[in-house]
């Protein structure tokens, strides 16, 4: 590639500016979180005497253990159930080419662009009718349904890419549908499945609208949904609010940094296929 | 099918026919969840939208009255207008900035610096939008970092509580969206540029083409697919924004940052007007479809 020096330097400088702009709001949270809890800090200033104790206070006052547990509970149901259902349906649509597959595919595509806000009112009354309003189930069941169109279309795209000779060979060899699915298709679907799992985890963990509307007690919500509770509780203390919010986002950032490559790949593929 | 052995193909076909039932059985669990928590509430929402109902008492059929109100009530129309203004911040700025940034960074060699910058650019995409809202409320506060910088460079007269000012609240909220989405756009464009044939770039360079010419004739056409995808995603994000507004302004001051998502929430749960809120939900859904479908069609047509 032909690139001259000026361009190279210009590119670097602009990139660094953008990186700084990206990270400042987060650094700014940290700087505020380290100020004495009873003061009203000014902008981006670091104190010589950082109050790490704020994090301890925010952790205890915010019932963070309980919040994390609640989020985990929701994720532990939403992600595996969605994966299983989507894999089965994606296999049926992408590989088996069942009659009506096209119709079914379009039926799922219909659900892809429905904003959650359009369904939130009827969902509230549906969940109330089921008697699960204000429990974690009120978020778990609807989320599985709401993520289903994307998940099915994602898995269908994967199974479409698997050469059909593979399953034909298995069938001719007398493998049952289930045997073929278990021992040939599933191992091949591993990368598609793990990328989908990452996306579903992130979306569930960060889900805000459903927990806020469907679970009255903030402590039973996802951590993201509980942020409003922090806002109410720490309205008088900017340092504690920022400490609390940081505690909430740090685990996701840590998980992200560890699985970075997979995350970025999943998000990019997710964008393209979505 | 590439297989040319006829009997084998026939056998497979017969097996496929026998498998129809089990094939449908495979899709049943997904269908059940989808039908129960997307299709059923959708139908329920359409039904509600023709009634006047406070959520507990008796309901009264009102025909299209709720829909008429959505299109005549200035508050509701205003919130739709605000959502379209947000498209400028959620779509126009991130996609344009992403294109420019990706072109500038293109020359970067893979290495620790490049992967570090990818990580940082992606951070806003990872944290909950609600947390982004909290971070930026503090940036925009009267005593926050933005005003601090303005004071430091002698523009203190401009300082204000950005989210509390009628003039600046909507752009301020919009820029949070730009902050969240620019990284995603940049990284997606970078991978897209990587797939463009590098010899094309070398050819125009040898012809002595300017940076701008290269951008217009090679980069943009090469990224058509990525542009369509990102425009679609970001428009949906703009029209159905909720989290950021909820944690920053709740629609205020006045109605200056009111968007459909917040309106639906307020009408449905604070004012207990279930019919009107449902009607607005249906309108929002159709609005999103009306914006997204033409883009998809355009992208498909141009890729053929």
pTM of the model: 0.88
Nearest CA in chain A to B198: A1
pLDDT given at position B17: 55
Contact B35, A149 (CB under 8 A): no
Domains and CATH numbers, chain B: 65-284 (1.10.3720.10)
Q: Which positions ≥6 away from A60 have C-beta within 8 Å?
A: none
Q: Phi first, then psi: what are they for B51, rounded to 5°?
A: -120, 160
- Inspect the interface and report whether the beta carbons of B104 and A11 lie closer than 8 Å: yes
The SS3 assignment for A107 reads helix
Number of alpha carbons in the 13 Å side-chain half-sphere of residue B44: 20
DSSP letter at B89 equals I
Q: Is the peptide bond before B253 cis (omega within 30 degrees of 0)?
A: yes
**Cα–Cα distance, B243 to B261 (Å, whole number):** 9
pLDDT tens profile B254-265: 899 999 999 999
> CB contact, 8 Å: A26 with chain B?
yes
Contact B282, B268 (CB under 8 A): no
CA nearest to A128, candidates A141, A112, A118: A141
**Cα–Cα distance, B200 to A29 (Å, whole number):** 45
Residue with tokens 């005497």: A49
> In which band, very low, low, confident or very high, does the pLDDT at A112 lie, cut at 50, 70 and 90?
confident
> CB contact, 8 Å: B229 with chain A?
yes
> CB contact, 8 Å: A30 with chain B?
no
The SS3 assignment for B52 reads strand
Burial B146-164 (b: 16+ CB within 10 A, else e): bbbebeeeeeeeebbbbbb
- The count of other CB atoms within 10 Å of the CB of residue A226 is 30
CA distances from B211 to A5, B93, B97, B152, B168 (A): 13, 20, 16, 36, 35
Residue B267: burial class (beta carbons within 10 Å; 0-12, 13-18, 19+): buried
Mutate to test the interface with B, among A28, A97, A115, A180 (most CBs of B within 10 A): A115
> In which band, very low, low, confident or very high, does the pLDDT at B3 lie, cut at 50, 70 and 90?
very low
pLDDT tens profile B69-122: 999 999 999 999 999 999 999 999 999 999 988 887 776 666 777 778 888 888
CA nearest to A111, candidates B30, B8, B155: B30
DSSP letter at A112 equals G
pLDDT top residue among B60 and B209: B60
**Superfamily of domain A66-231+254-273 in the CATH hierarchy:** MetI-like (1.10.3720.10)
**For B205, which of A2, A96, A272 is closest by C-beta distance?**
A2
**Cα–Cα distance, A167 to A254 (Å, whole number):** 40
All structural domains of chain A with their residue ranges? 66-231+254-273
**For A1, which of B30, B38, B198 is closest by C-beta distance?**
B198
pLDDT tens profile A120-149: 999 999 999 999 999 999 999 999 999 999
Q: Is the dihedral of CA B12, B17, B21, B24 positive or negative?
A: positive
pLDDT tens profile A152-204: 998 998 888 888 788 788 878 887 778 888 888 888 888 889 889 988 998 99
- Inspect the interface and report whether the beta carbons of A104 and B27 lie closer than 8 Å: yes
- The count of other CB atoms within 10 Å of the CB of residue B60 is 9
Residues of B in contact with A28 (CB under 8 A): 135, 138-139, 144-145
Interface pTM, i.e. ipTM: 0.88
Q: Phi first, then psi: what are they for B110, rounded to 5°?
A: -65, 135
């Amino acid at each position: 590639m032909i690139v001259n020096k000026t361009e190279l330097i210009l590119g670097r400088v602009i990139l660094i500016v953008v990186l700084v702009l990206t990270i400042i709001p987060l650094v700014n949270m940290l700087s505020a979180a380290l100020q004495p809890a009873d003061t009203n800090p000014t902008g981006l200033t670091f104190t010589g005497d950082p109050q790490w104790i704020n994090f301890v206070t925010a952790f205890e006052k915010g019932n963070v253990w309980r919040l994390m547990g609640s989020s985990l509970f929701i994720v532990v149901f939403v992600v595996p159930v969605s994966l299983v259902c989507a894999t089965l349906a994606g296999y049926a649509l992408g590989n088996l080419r069942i009659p009506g597959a096209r119709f079914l595919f379009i039926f799922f595509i219909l659900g892809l662009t429905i904003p959650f806000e359009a369904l939130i009112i009827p969902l509230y009354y549906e969940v109330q009718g089921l008697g699960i309003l204000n429990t974690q189930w009120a978020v778990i069941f609807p989320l599985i349904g709401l993520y289903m169109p994307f998940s099915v279309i994602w898995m269908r795209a994967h199974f479409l890419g698997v050469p059909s000779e593979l399953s034909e060979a298995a069938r001719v060899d007398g493998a049952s549908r289930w045997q073929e699915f278990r021992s040939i298709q599933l191992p091949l679907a591993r990368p598609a499945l793990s990328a989908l799992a990452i996306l579903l985890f992130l979306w569930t963990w960060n889900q805000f609208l459903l927990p806020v509307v469907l679970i009255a007690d903030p402590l039973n919500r996802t951590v993201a949904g509980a942020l409003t509770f922090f806002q109410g509780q720490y309205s008088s203390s900017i340092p504690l609010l920022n400490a609390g919010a940081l505690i909430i986002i740090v685990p996701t950032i840590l998980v992200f940094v560890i699985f970075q490559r997979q995350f970025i790949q999943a998000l990019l593929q997710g964008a393209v296929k979505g | 099918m590439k297989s040319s052995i006829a009997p084998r193909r026939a056998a497979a076909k017969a097996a496929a026919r026998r498998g129809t039932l089990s094939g449908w059985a495979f899709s049943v669990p997904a269908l059940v969840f989808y039908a129960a928590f997307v299709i059923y509430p959708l139908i329920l929402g359409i039904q509600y939208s023709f009634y006047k109902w406070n959520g507990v008492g008796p309901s009264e059929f009102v025909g299209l009255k709720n829909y008429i109100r959505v299109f005549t009530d200035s508050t509701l129309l205003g919130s739709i207008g605000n959502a379209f203004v947000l498209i400028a911040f959620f779509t126009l700025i991130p996609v344009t900035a992403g294109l420019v940034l990706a072109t500038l960074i293109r020359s970067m060699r893979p290495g620790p610096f490049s992967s570090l910058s990818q990580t940082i650019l992606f951070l806003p995409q990872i944290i909950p939008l609600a947390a982004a809202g909290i971070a930026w409320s503090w940036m925009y506060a009267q005593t926050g970092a933005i005003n601090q910088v303005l004071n430091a460079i002698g523009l203190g007269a401009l300082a204000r509580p950005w989210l509390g000012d009628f003039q600046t609240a909507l752009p301020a909220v919009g820029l949070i969206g730009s902050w969240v989405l620019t990284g995603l756009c940049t990284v997606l464009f970078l991978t897209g540029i990587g797939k463009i044939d590098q010899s094309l770039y070398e050819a125009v360079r040898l012809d002595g083409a300017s940076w701008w010419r290269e951008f217009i004739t090679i980069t943009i056409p090469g990224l058509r697919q990525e542009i369509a995808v990102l425009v679609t995603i970001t428009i949906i994000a703009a029209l159905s924004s909720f989290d950021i507004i909820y944690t920053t302004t709740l629609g205020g001051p006045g109605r200056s940052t009111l968007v459909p998502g917040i309106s639906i929430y307020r009408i449905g749960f604070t004012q207990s007007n279930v019919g009107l809120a449902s009607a607005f939900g249906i309108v929002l859904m159709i609005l999103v479809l009306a914006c997204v479908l033409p883009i998809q069609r355009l992208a498909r047509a141009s890729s053929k």
